[in-house]
Amino acid sequence: MSWYAELFFAIITNFFFYFFVLLFIGFMVLIIALVQKKPVISGKQGLLREIAVAQKNFKGEGLVEVHGELWKAVCKHPVKKGDLLKILSIKSRMILVVEKLDENKA
CB atoms within 10 A of CB 29: 10
Per-residue pLDDT tens over the stretch 59-92: 999 999 998 999 999 999 999 999 999 999 998 8
pTM: 0.59
Q: Does residue 52 contact residue 98 with C-beta atoms inside 8 Å?
A: yes
In angstroms, rounded to a whole number, what is the distance separating the alpha carbons of residues 84 and 3? 77
Domain 43-100 part of CATH 2.40.110.10: no
In angstroms, rounded to a whole number, what is the distance separating the alpha carbons of residues 24 and 33? 14
Write the CB contacts of 88 (distance below 8 Å, at least 6 apart in sequence): 48, 97, 98, 99
CA end-to-end span of the chain: 75
Per-residue pLDDT tens over the stretch 4-15: 888 888 999 999
Strands (E), the chain: 51-54, 58-66, 69-79, 84-91, 95-100
